A = this chain, B = another copy of it.
Amino acid sequence: MSPISTPPLMNKKVNDFVVKFANVNGSGSASANSMFAKAIFRMGIPVSPRNIFPSNIQGAPTWYEVRICEQGYLGRRAGKVELMVSVNPQSMADDVNEVCEGGYFFYDNTYPLDFKLIRDDINYIGLPLTQIVNATFNDPRRRQLFKNIIYVGSLSYLIGIEFSALESIVADTFKAKPKLIEPNVSALQLGFDEAKKAFNEPLPIQLERRNKNDGKIMLEGNAACGLGAVYGGATVCAWYPITPSTSVAEGFEKYANKLRKDPETGKNNFAIIQAEDELSAIGMVIGSNWNGARSFTATSGPGVSLMQEFLGLAYFAEVPAVLIDVQRAGPSTGMPTRTQQSDLLISAYASHGDTKQVCLFPATPKECFELTADAFDIAERLQTPVIMLTDLDLGMNEHICDDLEWDDSREFDRGKVLSAEDLDNMDRFGRYLDIDGDGIPNRTIPGTHAEKGAFFTRGTSRDEYAIYTEKGEAYQRNMERLLVKWKTAPEYLPKPEITNRAASSSSSGNGIGVIHYGTSMAATHEALDQMSADGVAVNDLRVLAFPFSDEVKAFIDQHDQIFVVEQNRDAQMKTLLVNELEVAPRDLQSVLEFNGDPISATQIREGIENNLKTDSVVKSA
């Protein structure tokens, strides 16, 4: 099929390759692309699709990179791709170069290929897509839309997507508009048939049905956060649009409309407020929580910067608040459609003065769901803001994860909120009095009691009874109590997840440990499993929360060499570990990736192997 010489042949690869689609944004390719990934999911094969989109609305190049991985590794696979589906002339030159040796470049051959795009080490497979749609449809919009469906049909033939899987997705997608089912299936069939006609045999990269996705779903992290907020009892969502966090509020809206409308009155048992900016959004969240309603906001880096003053108020006045930061590449506007984990410092020590903020780090949509729901309990229990740090990769891409679960016996933990009865039964109420020795005082909600419990919430110094004071001792007592609370915090936070790959500790040392968090998980596990398979055992600990629980320190102490994997330039998690656990910085080596792409196993493995101290290596069992 190659126009010039015979390219190298590719060995047959089953369920282990990458397909990348080069589209134009705003051209409606998104639904065709997701149909492609979903069909593979339904075939029981682990698959991880990722959108790579520009910070503009229409007409710019956009890619959809789908990794298929029998072994279930869902992180980004670095390197070139086996199959490029090129439907964007604009980016073709770059796209051609992305194909691996012996790989395939699928393109619309209605027009001849520019000879400059010809490489002799890859295979070109052309189908006259434009010609086909022009011959089939009259309406230009349909031509555009169905072109995408047609190439999915062709791929069905070329790499073995079960046609029935595609059909089932079409049926599900257009359940509400059944008239659209038939044309879509026809378009798929057309693509299939045309490909079959043109190519006498399918490609050596092939999909084969498995059953690896039983008990699993495919979901975007942001939607999962929105759903988690519904389950966690959030009633007020105040937000301001910003990529890549917008779909958190949209997710909440979608699920709340479905699950939270009063069936009798039609009233909303929730409120969604598009604020005028992020300062206002977090102000509303603080106001609602102060007044007894669970409330949250979602934003990204620039929003977190704008929320600093309010975060300091909430820390110091001890008002619960939940903030979901879907991180993107900073600083400043940075690369707003690329991923990064670089808002740790601004979150953990948000605001001027001495402050410390609780942070959560989910790694999967399921954890987005769970930790969002938990965040409300944590915020009320600890009476402080909880900042959940997810990222664009997790938030805006569909990821396979386990089915979501909910324990119906679970009750919201409202923390130490006093009822009117409690107030009646107590002496003087002291809002900032540490009665239990855990640094967490009692709290009252406005309107609770006619005579007792009212106080003036403020960002200024006050004594245990919330009376304004400028006395240094009272101020200091309060600040020290906040540290006691900080020590209490891990008790209420999710524990780290530890995976031991090393045989039980050898005498020569305890080997290598890797610390990571959030979306570095998949790639880290992949890298370490590979190393393990190659005889080098590496344990890992995934941090789920800040402040750290003792297990994190123990893990560091138990290993001879520790790597910290992060998707930022400045090793921000390392800074937190060093600062809070009093670990020596030179005991933590960083593996950093910060170019905006999700980190890959290859990068992690290289980062570790290039820096291994041979005496800390422990062989895998």
Contacts and interface: CB of A to CB of B under 8 A. Distances in A.
A8 to B, nearest CB: 27
One complex includes copies of this chain to the number of 2
A353 B331 contact: yes
A327 to B, nearest CB: 8
A110 interface: no
A342 B353 contact: yes
A476 B479 CA distance: 40
A34 to B, nearest CB: 22
B305 A472 contact: no
A556 to B, nearest CB: 13
Most central of A336, A345, A569, A582 by chain B CB within 10 Å: A345
A338 B472 contact: yes
Interface stretch (A181-189, A410-418, A455-463): A455-463
Interface in A440-480: 458-461, 470, 472-473, 475-476, 479-480
Contact of A575 (B338, B355, B579): B579
A29 interface: no
Contacts of A333: 313, 458-460
B305 A330 contact: no
A168 to B, nearest CB: 35
Interface string A588-599: 000000111100
A387 to B, nearest CB: 12
A55 interface: yes
A555 interface: no
A356 interface: yes
B338 A343 contact: no
A313 B335 contact: no
In which size bucket is the chain A interface? 35 or more
A584 interface: yes
Contact of A332 (B302, B313, B332, B346): B313
A529 to B, nearest CB: 26
Contacts of A480: 569
A321 interface: no
B331 A352 contact: yes
A231 interface: no
Contact of A55 (B301, B470, B473): B470
Interface string A304-326: 11101100110111000000000
A172 to B, nearest CB: 33
Contact of A585 (B332, B345, B352, B578): B578
A336 B342 CA distance: 31
Contacts of A356: 570
B483 A569 contact: yes
Contacts of A340: 353
Given A334-B460, A346-B308, A596 B313 contact: no
A88 interface: no
Given A342-B354, A475-B596, A583-B585, 11 more contacts: A301-B353, A313-B331, A317-B332, A329-B353, A331-B352, A333-B460, A334-B461, A472-B596, A476-B595, A479-B569, A575-B579
21 contacts: A301-B352, A306-B308, A313-B332, A315-B331, A315-B332, A316-B331, A331-B354, A338-B472, A338-B475, A340-B353, A343-B352, A346-B349, A349-B570, A354-B570, A356-B570, A470-B596, A475-B595, A480-B569, A578-B579, A578-B585, A583-B585
